[in-house]
Amino acid sequence: MDAFTTHTGTAAPLRRSAVDTDQIIPAEYLKRITRTGFEDGLFVAWRRNEPDFVLNQPQYADASILVAGPDFGTGSSREHACWALLDGGFRVVISSRFADIFKNNSTKSGLLTVVLPQAEVEALWAAVEAVPTTQVTVDLQEKQVTYGGHSVPFEIDGYTRWRLLEGLDDVGLTERHLADIEAFEARRPAWLPKALPALPA
Amino acid sequence: MPKTLAEKVYDAHVVRSAAGEPDLLYIDLHLVHEVTSPQAFDGLRAAGRRVRRPDLTMATEDHNVPTLDILKPIADPVSRAQVEALRRNTAEFGIRLAPMGDRDQGIVHVIGPQLGLTQPGTTIVCGDSHTSTHGAFGALAFGIGTSEVEHVLATQTLPQYRPKQMAVTVNGELPEGVSAKDVILAVIARIGTNGAAGHVIEYRGSAIEALSMEARMTICNMSIEAGARAGLIAPDETTFDFLQGRPHAPQGADWDAAVEYWQTLRTDEDAVFDTEVVLEAAELTPFVTWGTNPGQGLPIAGSVPDPATMADEDERRSAEQALAYMGLTPGTPLREIEVDTVFLGSCTNGRIEDLRIAAELLRGKHIDPHTRMLVVPGSVGVKLQAEAEGLDQVFTEAGAEWRGAGCSMCLGMNPDQLQPGERSASTSNRNFQGRQGKGGRTHLVSPSVAAATALTGRLTAPADLADAPVPAAV
């Protein structure tokens, strides 16, 4: 996973709430077995069917920060939603509320999810709709979003922030605690279910 | 300190806890399917890692699986490649696989309970948001992403933060014709699609205790549709009766030891929930969705709502977008909405009890001639059981299509899809735009509403059938 420290770019205002992961990337694109190359599926139904959709507007074509309505990323656990956003050029999604699994997946794939109060989301929408070239800086080190001389702090738990700043792989971190895992396994009751060997019905 | 059921299960699985870090949680059972796992296996290979506990891992093919011609190679080359990748990966890493054609194959959330692998007090994960289904047994079960799938394969653990606790209590007795699906759709309509974010839901109260295991699974399955990663129900005699004798359930002295432990898995009297929601069962009626998220639902006696009357701007914008997509006019009685397709199946409602309920309504009748009905059992086991009971005959004589097992039209990763503009009544879990096929429009319903709707061709509750003559079987 790439480290995330700070990012500056333009932002696309997505004025929709409860954007589910089926909209971010439909199921037919999930048949691939690669981890990259999902940009063609990103918001594909809206891009195809709605000429005015924000990402069809040339002034937002190069946006790297997505500013969405509340409850972004509900539904399916597909991490492909994060990969599609990254492949589509986004490094940050800002919303007043994210679905749990999407948020969790984002922290594992290097996409920064920033929670701001809805009033701040509205202010940011207004700013980037008025001036689409507005440069927005999302600084994970300082935990703040800055644009047009306006700075808004955001909260993120310290552990996740550290992992993102360092670009650390969770598996490697957990493997440091192998002795704890082995000790736990030694305590597990023998009657707990096992998938192997397969037993007849 | 008094604890909730979810806290007891969580605490019993903490491998390591340190200030300022997530807890490391041990995973008792990891279920795997073809869609969310290939990149995880690639990650293991790239890092030279092995699967730590193949014996606690079980794989099946469900999302891409065709429901016709299931013994032939999959026609779609991309779907076929994904299924073949799972076969290679499970063979290479020594994981048990129930492939197409195997008697244990089926939707991952149907086969776990069916095999007796899903047990009370365990932690269960899968790269699939409907893993919450297994909470019906008093397990702490939740969906994860592909990076986490890789993490569990490698370490049999997951870093987790302690969730908040929500109680959803349903008091009283459900009226005739009102099912678990109606209960959970009413809960989601009440709290919203992300209303339980950050929480585990415990469903409790006399109406929940009276439910069968199948019905409990329907409720826990859709916890994610309310934003909760997990939902669970305290195990009781109904749970133990369901499990006893299943292939992977404990036996003999092990069974006694297990039951003794399982009986401790109840929320303590004075445990505190962060959030509480209470519903009165007597007030519930058959529920259907009108919009494009599972929270946009109403009792079937209602009408399509008018966004103009919605005070909340976000809710209004969302309803306007939903109605435009669904092609619905405010004020239209829900019972007048005509459907093209009825889908009975999925991890929400593809179990034997769901098929029995629908078959009972269809027995000796014929579905509306302009309506197509697909019946897709949740697993091969469910299919064989239904055929042993003659349900397949009831469905086919009524004009429905009897198919092979899989996820099917719930998300249309196989050929079972809606065409653009087509409308379905579906017993699945998501009515998102395009979920069942590009441009498809979905109304979520219970199995009995699905069957009644198939008979009339428009959204119908079973109780409405008395007034609406339907053609007899020919």
Query: Residue type at A5?
Result: T
Choose among A101, A171, A195: nearest Cβ to B155: A171
**A187 touches B: beta carbon within 8 Å:** no
Residue A201 pLDDT > 90: no
Tell me whether residue A179 is in a domain.
yes
End-to-end CA distance of chain B: 65
Put simply, whether A110 touches B (Cβ < 8 Å) is no
Whether this model's ipTM surpasses 0.90 comes out as: yes
Name the residue among B78, B85, B77, B82 with its Cα closest to residue B45. B85
**B194·A74 Cβ contact <8 A:** yes
- Specify the pLDDT at position B467: 65
Q: Do B58 and A195 touch (CB under 8 A)?
A: yes
Residue A92 lies in a domain: yes
Q: Which residues of A touch B93 (CB under 8 A)?
A: none
Cα–Cα distances (Å) from B17 to B20, B47, B153, B229, B261, in that order, read: 9, 26, 21, 21, 24
Residue A181 is assigned to a structural domain of this protein: yes
**Contact assessment for residue B150 and residue B30, using Cβ atoms and an 8 Å cutoff:** no
CA B263 to chain centre: 25
At B469 the pLDDT is 57
Determine the average pLDDT of the residues in B431-448: 98
Tell whether residue B407 is among the known ligand binding residues: yes
Tokens 């990149």 sit on residue:
B39
Cα B51 versus chain centre, distance:
27
Mean pLDDT rounded to a whole number for chain B: 97
What end-to-end distance do the CA atoms of chain A give, in Å?
A: 43
How far, in Å, CA of B54 to CA of B444, rounded?
37
Q: Is the CB of residue B85 less than 8 Å away from at least one CB of chain A? A: yes
- Give one DSSP letter per residue of B282-303, joined into a string: GG---EEE-SSSTTSEEETTSB
Residue contacts between A and B (CB atoms, under 8 Å): 214
Those residues with Cβ within 8 angstroms of residue B247's Cβ, 6 or more apart along the chain or in another chain: A199, A200, A201, B115, B116
Residue B474 has pLDDT above 70, yes or no: no
Extract the tokens encoding B438: 């590009």
- DSSP H/E element including B230: strand B230-232
Subunit contact B15:A180, Cβ cutoff 8 A: yes
| Among candidates A33, A45, A109 on the partner chain, residue whose Cβ is nearest the Cβ of B434 | A45
Task: Report the pLDDT value the prediction gives residue A2, as an integer from 0 to 100.
Answer: 83
* A126: contact with B, CB 8 A cutoff: no
Contacts of B119 in chain A (CB under 8 A): 192-193
Token pair in block for residue B154:
């490698």
Interchain contact, A191 vs B250, CB within 8 Å: yes
Q: Note whether A35 contacts B104, CB cutoff 8 Å.
A: no
Confidence at residue B362, expressed as pLDDT on a 0 to 100 scale: 98
| Chain B residues inside the 8 Å CB shell of A184 | 15, 26
Residue B269 pLDDT greater than 80, yes or no: yes
Contact with chain B for residue A108, Cβ under 8 A: yes
Number of other CB atoms surrounding residue A200 within 10 Å: 6
Give the domain CATH number at A81.
3.20.19.10
Domains of chain B, with CATH numbers?
5-275 (3.30.499.10), 288-466 (3.30.499.10)
Query: Which of A77, A97, A99 has the CB atom closest to B128's CB atom?
Result: A77
Q: What is the mean pLDDT of residues B216-225?
A: 98
Task: Answer yes or no: is pLDDT of B205 > 70.
Answer: yes
Confidence of residue A171 (pLDDT cuts 50, 70, 90): very high
Which region holds residue B408: left if phi is over 0, alpha if psi is between -120 and 50, else beta? left
Average pLDDT over residues B204-215: 98
Residue A30 falls inside a structural domain: yes
pLDDT, tens only, A94-141:
999 999 999 999 999 999 999 999 999 999 999 999 999 999 999 999
Name residues 42-61 of chain A within 8 A of B (Cβ).
Answer: 45
**Shortest Cα–Cα distance, A200 to chain B (Å):** 6
pLDDT tier for residue A1 given thresholds of 50, 70 and 90: confident
Whether the per-residue pLDDT at A13 is higher than 90: the answer is: yes
Residues in chain B with CB shorter than 8 Å from the CB of A31 are 35, 64, 76, 78-79, 81-82, 413
Q: Is residue A149 part of a domain?
A: yes
Q: Measured between CA atoms, how close is A118 to chain B, in angstroms?
A: 11
Supply the pTM of this predicted model. Answer: 0.97
Q: In chain B, which residues have their Cβ closer than 8 Å to the Cβ of A34?
A: 39
Closest Cβ–Cβ partner in A18, A173, A185 for B318: A18
- Per residue in B342-383, pLDDT (tens digit) is 999 999 999 999 999 999 999 999 999 999 999 999 999 999
Tell me whether A182 touches chain B (CB under 8 Å).
no
The reply, when asked if residue B126 is annotated as ligand binding, is no
Question: pLDDT-derived band of residue B71, with 50, 70 and 90 as boundaries?
Answer: confident
State yes or no: B410 annotated in a binding site. yes
AA identity, residue B378: G
Q: Do B39 and A34 touch (CB under 8 A)?
A: yes
Between A199 and B269, residue with greater pLDDT: B269
- The answer to the question of residue A193 being in a domain is no
* Yes or no, beta carbons of A193 and B29 under 8 Å apart: yes
Q: To probe the interface with A, which of B111, B147, B384 has the most A CB atoms within 10 Å?
A: B147
- Give domain status of residue A82, yes or no: yes
Residue percentage of chain B with pLDDT more than 90: 96
Residue numbers of B between 235 and 264 with CB closer than 8 Å to A: 247-250, 254-255, 257-258, 261
Option in B119, B194, B261 nearest A71 (CB): B194
Per the CB < 8 A criterion, the answer to whether B236 and B209 are in contact is yes
* Cβ within 8 Å of residue A135, ≥6 positions away: A8, A9, A10, A147
> What range does the domain containing A156 cover?
6-187
Q: Which of B16, B45, B149 to mutate to test the interface with A (most CBs of A within 10 A)?
A: B16
pLDDT at B473: 55
Query: Among the residues of B142-236, which ranges form H helices?
Result: 146-155, 180-191, 206-209, 213-221
Give phi and psi for A149, each to the nearest 5: 80, 5
Q: Are B388 and B471 in contact (CB under 8 A)?
A: no
Residues B54 and B11 sit within 8 Å (Cβ to Cβ): no
When pLDDT is cut at 50, 70 and 90, the band that residue B70 belongs to is confident
Contact map slice: B 324-343 vs A, CB within 8 A: none
* Interface check B49 vs A, CB under 8 A: yes
Please give the residue of chain B at the shortest CA–CA distance from A173: B159
Total tally of structural domains belonging to chain A = 1
Cα–Cα nearest to B196, from A99, A3, A189, A166: A99
SS3 track for A33-102:
CCCCCCHHHCCHHHHHHCCCCHHHCHHHCCCCEEEECCCECECCCCCHHHHHHHHCCCCEEEECCECHHH
Distance from the Cα of A131 to chain B's closest Cα (Å) equals: 24
Asked if the model's pLDDT at residue B187 lies above 70, the reply is yes
